[in-house]
Structures are given as C-alpha cells and as structure tokens.
Amino acid sequence: MRFLVSAESVDYGGPVSPKDAVAFIENVVIPSFQMFEKWEKEGKVTGGGFAAQRAGAFIMEASSAEELTKMLSSLPLWAVTKWDVRSLLSFSFVQERAREQANRLKAMASSMP
C-alpha cells in the first residue's frame, strides 16, 4: 500500500538554548533523517523536506496502516511532529471505479423516460 505522508514540526513555544538545539539536532533530527535515508535506499519512501521549512512530504510504501504506524513511530521525531497520513489508491483502481460509475449512470439514464 502507498501512503501520502506530510510532516510538520510542532512548536512548543519556548526558547531553546544553543546547547539544547545542538543536542536535539544530533539526537533526534539527524537519526530520524538517517532512517528516512535508509528507507529511501530500500525503496520504502520517496520525497523530502520543503525548502526553508521544518516540514516535508513523502510517499511511503507499507503493507498496512499498522506497518506504516510502526515505522513512523520508530522515528525519534515521532513525538515532536504533526503527521498527516492518507492512503493512496492506484490510478488503475480509480479508473476502474470511474468506469463503473459511468456505466451505472448510463444504465440509469437509459431507463429514464
């Protein structure tokens, strides 16, 4: 299954010292993006960050919503990120549904006086 995932950093509203910022970057941000890079090499994710923002979007391959949740929640960034996840349908499935709908409407139209 494919999922469209967008992520945005959560602001907690307080000041951060340079020392705390460095610790956060080294212990949370970099390890998370190392995991994304690994998943990208494995063909599980494609996408990236938005220019000049603490946000990004990507397509993620997972066998289920549960697997996707396990993967994302394993990221050090999990707790400090707002996630928006949407499952994606293949274009062939969407096309078939549109054909079925058109056929139903044709049948309805032909039975009308």
CATH code for the domain of 35: 3.30.70.1060
Whether the CB-CB separation of 8 and 80 falls below 8 Å is answered with: no
Q: Helix, strand, or coil here: 10?
A: coil
Cα(64)–Cα(78) distance, integer angstroms: 18
Whether the CB-CB separation of 103 and 18 falls below 8 Å is answered with: no
Count the domains in the chain. 1
The pLDDT score that the predictor gives to residue 111 is 87
The pLDDT score that the predictor gives to residue 12 is 75
Range of the domain at 14: 2-110
pLDDT tens, per residue, the chain with 113 residues: 999 999 999 987 778 899 999 999 999 999 999 999 999 999 999 999 999 999 999 999 999 999 999 999 999 999 999 999 999 999 999 999 999 999 999 999 988 87
Cα(63)–Cα(78) distance, integer angstroms: 20
The pLDDT score that the predictor gives to residue 13 is 76
β-partners of residue 4 are: 59, 86
DSSP designation for 111: T
The pLDDT score that the predictor gives to residue 11 is 84
